[in-house]
Structure 1
Amino acid sequence: MHGLRRLRSERSTIQVLDQRSTRALVGLADTLVLGFDGIDFLHALTERCVQLLDIDAAGIVLVDQQGTLSLVAASTEQTHLLELFQLPNEDGPLLDCYHTGHGVGCADLVAAPPRWPRLAAGDRGFAAVQAVPMRLREQILGALNLFSCSPSDIPADVTAVTQSFANVATISILRVRALRHSEMVTEQLQSALHSRMLIEQAKGVLAQRHHISIAEAFTLMRTYARLHNRLLSQIAQAVISQAPDIADLTMAQTRPRRRGVALI
C-alpha cells in the first residue's frame, strides 16, 4: 500500500513538472522573434530552470572561436564565480559534458571522483552539479549547468527537462544564424561573449556609481533595457561610454551606503 502511494506521488510530481516545463518552454519559444535579445533570453532561461527544477542555481557557457568556454548567462553571480573557478582548471562535470557531448553530473562535489582531483566547489556554496550539452548533431555549442546546495543525485526526469531547456537555448542561437544569412554560428557566439563582457563592465560602473551590489546593478540595467525596448548590450555600451541619452540611469544618486560586518 505504501509503495503504491509513493508510486502515485512520484507520477503526480512528474506530471506537474511536465505541465510546468511545457508552459515554460512555450513561453520561451514565444520570445524567439526577430530582434530578440539573445543574452537576456539565455538569462531568462536560467531563471526558469531555477524556478521549475528545484535547484539553487543555473548557468550557460558557450565556446568561442578559440575553443574556450565562457559564461554568458547565470541565475546568480555565485554561479558565475563557480564557473570562472571551474573552467581554467580544465576539471569537472561541465568540461566533461562539453568534451563528450553527453550529460555529466556529480552528486557530491565535496567528495568529487578521482577524475576531478582539483574540483572543490563545496567551498563556494554548491554541493551537486548536473551539466547537459547544447548541441546540434555533432556540433557542440556549450552546456547548461544546474547547481544544488545539498548533495543529491538530480532525478532523471529533471535531467530530461534540463536537456529540453538546453535544446531551446541551442535553437535560439541557431535561429539567429538563420535570420542573419551572412553570419556563422561562431560569429554569433563571439558576439554573445562580447556582449556579456560589456555587461560585466557596465554592472561594475553602475554598482560603484549607485553604491549597490553587482546583482542589483544588473537588475537595474536589465529593467531599463526592457522599459526602453533596447538590447541589454546596447544599454551596457551606453553606460560604459556615458552616453547622454541614458543619463537617468547612469546619473549618480545620493544613497546611504550599506553598513555590514567587517570580515577581517
Structure 2
Amino acid sequence: MMAELSRDSRLSAAFLKVADTLVDDYDVVDLLDTLVQECTVFVGSDAGGLLIADADGWLQLIASTNEEAEFVEIIQLNAGEGPCVDAYKTGVGVTVPDLSQNDQWPAFSAEALKQGFRSMHAFPMRLRGETIGAMGLFSVNTGELSESDVAVAQSLADVATIGILQERSLRDTTMVADQMQRALDSRVLIEQAKGVIAAQTGVNMHTAFAILRDYARNNQLKLGAVAERVAERTLTLSAGESVAAE
C-alpha cells in the first residue's frame, strides 16, 4: 500500500512539474527538457532524449538527460532510422527490449550498445493524429517497461504535446512550425552557451546545462535568451552564482 501511495505521489509530482512549465509565454525547450527528465526518473530508465520536427518535417534533437543519450539520438538522426524515427513516422510507441537481438536498425543498435544501453522505448509526441516528435528512454538493462510505466510516459508526452499545440496553434499550422523552429534555434544557442560555461567553470556539459536552466528558471527568463547572453559573453554563470559581465 505504501509503495502504491509513493508511486501515486511521484506520478502527481511528475505531472505537476510538467504542467508548471505551461505558463503564459512558456519556454518550449524548458518544457521538453522537463518532460524527458521526469519520464526518465519515473519509469526507472537510465537516460532519455527527445526529438522534434523542424519546419520542413525533419527531426532534430531538442533535449537529453546526458551526453550518452544525446550522442545516440544524433546517431539515430544521422542514420535516418531507429525507434524514435519510427515512433514519429507512425505515431505509435516502439519497444526494443534487447538491442543486441535487434536487426531492424543495425547502425543505431550498434552505437547504442557501444554507449552501454541495452534496451530502448520510444514514445510519439502526438495529438489528434498530428505527431510533432518522439521521446526515447534508454536503459542499461534488457527488458520491457511495465504497462503502467508505458501509459505514464505516453500520458506525460501527450500533456506536453497538448501544451505545445494549444487551440490557437491548432488553428494555424504555420504558427506551430514557427514555434518549433524557434525552439530548435534556441537549442543551437544553448549548446554554444553550455560550451562557454563548461570552459569557464570546468564542469561537464550536462552540469553546464543545469546551471543555465536553473538561472533561467530562477530569474523567470527563457533559456534561449539567457543562452544568447552567455554565448555573447554579456553574462557569466557559475555553479553557485551568476554575475553580469562588465
1:164: which partner in 2? 155
Q: Rate the CA distance shift 1:244–1:109 in 2: closer, same or farther, 3 A.
A: closer
Q: Does residue 122 of structure 1 match 2:135? A: no
Q: Rate the CA distance shift 1:83–1:244 in 2: closer, same or farther, 3 A.
A: closer
Bigger shift: 167-176 or 83-92?
Answer: 167-176
Aligned-partner SS, 2:25: coil
How many pairs are equivalent? 240
1:51: which partner in 2? 41
Matches within 5 A, 1:10-25: 16-25=6-15
Bigger shift: 16-25 or 156-165?
Answer: 16-25
Alpha-carbon distance, 1:192 to partner: 0.8
TM-score between the two structures when normalised by the length of structure 1: 0.82
Kindly provide the CA deviation profile for residues 198-256 of structure 1, in whole angstroms up to 9, marking residues without a partner as x.
100111111112222111211221222223221111010011122269795476xxxxx
Equivalent position to 2:196, from 186, 192, 205? 205
Identity %: 38
Equivalent position to 1:79, from 69, 79, 94? 69
AA matched with 1:157: S
Q: Rate the CA distance shift 1:13–1:131 in 2: closer, same or farther, 3 A.
A: farther
| Cα distance in 1 for residues equivalent to 2:174 and 2:167 | 9
Equivalent position to 1:89, from 79, 83, 93? 79
2:225: which partner in 1? 234
Structure having the higher Rg: 1
Q: Rate the CA distance shift 1:180–1:115 in 2: closer, same or farther, 3 A.
A: closer
Matched-pair contact (CA < 8 Å) for 2:65–2:206: no
Aligned-partner SS, 1:212: coil
AA matched with 2:88: Y
Equivalent position to 2:146, from 116, 130, 155? 155
Alpha-carbon distance, 1:75 to partner: 1.7
User: Please, which runs of 5 or more residues in structure 2 have no aligned partner?
Assistant: none
| Cα distance in 2 for residues equivalent to 1:55 and 1:246 | 30
Alpha-carbon distance, 1:57 to partner: 1.2
| Cα distance in 2 for residues equivalent to 1:30 and 1:244 | 26
AA matched with 2:73: E
Matches within 5 A, 1:185-264: 185-243=176-234, 248-249=242-243
Aligned-partner SS, 1:82: helix
Q: Rate the CA distance shift 1:34–1:17 in 2: closer, same or farther, 3 A.
A: same
| Cα distance in 2 for residues equivalent to 1:250 and 1:33 | 27
Bigger shift: 134-143 or 218-227?
Answer: 218-227
Q: Rate the CA distance shift 1:43–1:176 in 2: closer, same or farther, 3 A.
A: farther
Q: CA RMSD in A?
A: 2.7
Matched-pair contact (CA < 8 Å) for 2:59–2:133: yes
Kindly provide the CA deviation profile for residues 146-200 of structure 1, in whole angstroms up to 9, marking residues without a partner as x.
1111111112211111110110120121139549989611111111111111100
2:56: which partner in 1? 66
User: Please, which runs of 5 or more residues in structure 1 have no aligned partner?
Assistant: 1-8, 252-264
Matched-pair contact (CA < 8 Å) for 2:236–2:244: no
TM-score between the two structures when normalised by the length of structure 2: 0.87
| Cα distance in 1 for residues equivalent to 2:100 and 2:207 | 30
